[in-house]
Amino acid sequence: MKRILNFIVVAFFMTFIGCTSDKHTQEEFDVSQYSEQDFDRLGITDKDHLSAASKRALKWDKLGNEWFIEFEVSDLKGDLAYEEGVVRRDPSALLKIDGKYYVWYTKSTGPTQGFAGDIENEKVFPWDRCDIWYATSEDGITWKEEGLAVPRGPKGAYDDRSVFTVEVMEWEGTYYLSYQTVKSPYNVRVKNQVGLAWSSSPNGPWTKSEEPILSPADNGVWKGTDDNRFNVIKKGDFDSHKVHDPCIIPFNGKFYLYYKGEQMGEEITFGGRQIRHGLAIADNPKGPYVKSPYNPISNSGHEICVWPYNGGVASLITTDGPEKNTIQWSPDGINFSIKSSIKGAPHAIGLNRSADIEKEPTEILRWGLTHEYMNSDYQYIRRFTSRRVTTHVAIGEAPKAK
């Protein structure tokens, strides 16, 4: 008798839960707006029982693979091949000028000691005590290092400790380099800024801005006086600690400076590090740059990798956050939506700006430069290539007929 009663109780609750679930599903989701082809393509045959995943899939843009790619990385030849004792990293975009490719990058020498030693005289990061150098190539594979482009500033300047993570833009015959700066001493709570240099020639000489063109938000409050970036009273804006990885592109008659923001008291979330991107806009390449009121414009990302496409702006989002490893696109350069989810991407991509950006969404990613860690002390610049993935077949299987 007890077993029968238990069965009746369980059956009652299962029926109640099922009815509640069915009712909840029908009240919240209108299936009439989708066609039979939509359901068939997604493998949904029971429209009366839609999981949250099925509802999300129906709301996606039409499935396609024009934004889906995979990457490969290979070594370079010449002066940008790995060199023991030397850091070369964070390559800029590539410009093709008079038949030669140009790239700018971060360069330093010697190992990294971290924050435990003599921070006044040692290196705390591989990108510490760096200058910006440049190299040229006729084929994008064999490179010649041409020399120093932008050095650190004199003692007391906002860029006296390091200049690094450079990006390039050409506009009306003038070349602009935007980059990160650090002022000594380089402690854990130091606030990175963004500098700018310009020249009428890719070979320089370069004129540097006297002041930063972008700084972190000034609305976070540290807790205590210990050099600890996680102890805060108030975290402030998404970029209250650092502004990183600047990239300026002309867009809609203005100049859009995209950057990575780091927040005071940065947390680890369900997507990893709490990293987001921001935007500042100017009427002139030299500024002043005003941060968008819509910041942050991403939920995820690391290094900035953006390019114009189809009247809008595309962005490769990597490494950190719940939307990492996606390619996104925005019609206005501010409001981005996910176009593909990829397996991963190389570090610090330097785009080939000479590519035909309107040929297809990811044409600019067909090849370019990246950096790779040989070890924790030394990084070097490599070449990446990508390919669109349009089919999936087993070994020996005939490909899908077109």
pLDDT digits (tens, 9 = 90+) for 86-97: 999 999 999 999
Residues 148 and 222 in one domain: yes
Residue 161 located in a structural domain: yes
Residues 110 and 49 in one domain: no
Residue 198 located in a structural domain: yes
Task: Taking the CA atoms of 269, 362, 40 and 28 in sequence, report the sign of the dihedral they define.
Answer: positive
Task: Give the whole-angstrom CA distance, residue 32 versus residue 352.
Answer: 45
pLDDT digits (tens, 9 = 90+) for 288-300: 999 999 999 999 9
The answer on pLDDT for 397 being more than 70 is yes
Q: How far is CA 120 from the centre of its chain?
A: 31
Residue 400 located in a structural domain: no
Structure confidence at residue 398 as a pLDDT band (50, 70, 90): confident
Higher pLDDT, 29 or 368: 368
- Work out how many domains the chain is built from and give that number: 2
| Structural domain for 28, as ranges | 2-59
Pairing of strands 312-317, 306-309: antiparallel
Residues 47 and 153 in one domain: no
The stretch 331-343 carries a mean pLDDT of: 97
Residue 252 located in a structural domain: yes
Residues 6 and 48 in one domain: yes
Report the chain's mean pLDDT, rounded to a whole number: 93
- What pLDDT score does 229 carry? 93
Query: The tokens of 258 are what?
Result: 């995209």
Instruction: Please give the model's pTM, rounded to 2 decimal places.
Output: 0.91
Residue 217 located in a structural domain: yes
pLDDT digits (tens, 9 = 90+) for 69-112: 999 999 999 999 999 999 999 999 999 999 999 999 999 999 99
Residues 79 and 226 in one domain: yes
Structure confidence at residue 21 as a pLDDT band (50, 70, 90): very low
Question: What's the chain's length in residues?
Answer: 402
Could you tell me the CATH number of the domain that includes residue 204? 2.115.10.20
Residues 176 and 268 in one domain: yes
Q: Tell me which of 22, 41, 59 is where a domain ends.
A: 59
Residue 232 located in a structural domain: yes
Provide DSSP, 354-382. TS-TTSSTTGGGSEEEEEEESSSS-EEEE
Burial classification of residue 338, based on how many CB atoms lie within 10 Å of its CB (0-12 exposed, 13-18 middle, 19 or more buried): middle
pLDDT digits (tens, 9 = 90+) for 206-254: 999 999 999 999 999 999 999 999 999 999 999 999 999 999 999 999 9
Residues 268 and 302 in one domain: yes
The answer on pLDDT for 159 being more than 70 is yes
Q: How far is CA 60 from the centre of its chain?
A: 23
Residues 31 and 138 in one domain: no
The answer on pLDDT for 386 being more than 70 is yes
Residues 37 and 86 in one domain: no
Residues 217 and 361 in one domain: yes
The answer on pLDDT for 392 being more than 90 is no
Residues 198 and 287 in one domain: yes
